Chain A
């Protein structure tokens, strides 16, 4: 049971380069999320997708774009990487229902460094 799979696990970019972080889940969850976690800090929501075909901005969307490719996959793209985007990126998925006690399931994270 893979859960939430993120690729790559590590990446180093130069300022101005672009890249896409991939995320896939096999739990048939409707909702998917992208967070960033800076050292010693909490998770900040970048974008989320409540269901296939919809995406919404979170707390810190600037500099990022997302694509909900299908129910399983939710990708995060950095069009022109900046040093301020150096962080650990987590993808998560969850059951959609607001009353649900099912927690988010997280990937292992992508450690991204931008020089």
Chain B
């Protein structure tokens, strides 16, 4: 069954340091996509980065990178040079392909606190 797990309810990081947010997943669909979203206190969902199941290289988008380890079924988000504005909830999500009906589920989230 499709499953997403984020085991870190809360994380603290010092401003300008890097932080890794963990995400593991499970699916029987060979075609899937992994997404990370940021949700600030205002409530909107902001897309950060995407990794496809067949992508050979780890995705990067500015200060965000994704440490994709397919065999271990993990897709950890790395935020480099943390900023105060990075304080928010972060969600990992997985979308299955046609076999799974394009179903998309989310993990429970990690609340990140950036300290000055």
Contacts and interface: CB of A to CB of B under 8 A. Distances in A.
Nearest to A35: B106
Contacts of A98: 29, 31-33, 95-98, 100, 102
B68 interface: no
By size class, the interface of chain B is 20 to 34
Interface residues of A, number: 28
A42 B105 CA distance: 10
Interface string B62-104: 0000000000000000000000000000010101111011111
B1 to A, nearest CB: 10
B106 to A, nearest CB: 4
Interface of B: 6, 29, 31-33, 35, 37, 43-45, 47, 50, 52, 54, 91, 93, 95-98, 100-109, 111
28 contacts: A31-B104, A41-B108, A41-B109, A42-B6, A42-B109, A44-B105, A44-B106, A45-B104, A56-B103, A58-B103, A58-B105, A94-B95, A94-B102, A94-B104, A96-B102, A98-B29, A98-B31, A98-B32, A98-B96, A98-B100, A99-B97, A101-B50, A101-B52, A104-B35, A104-B93, A104-B104, A106-B44, A108-B43
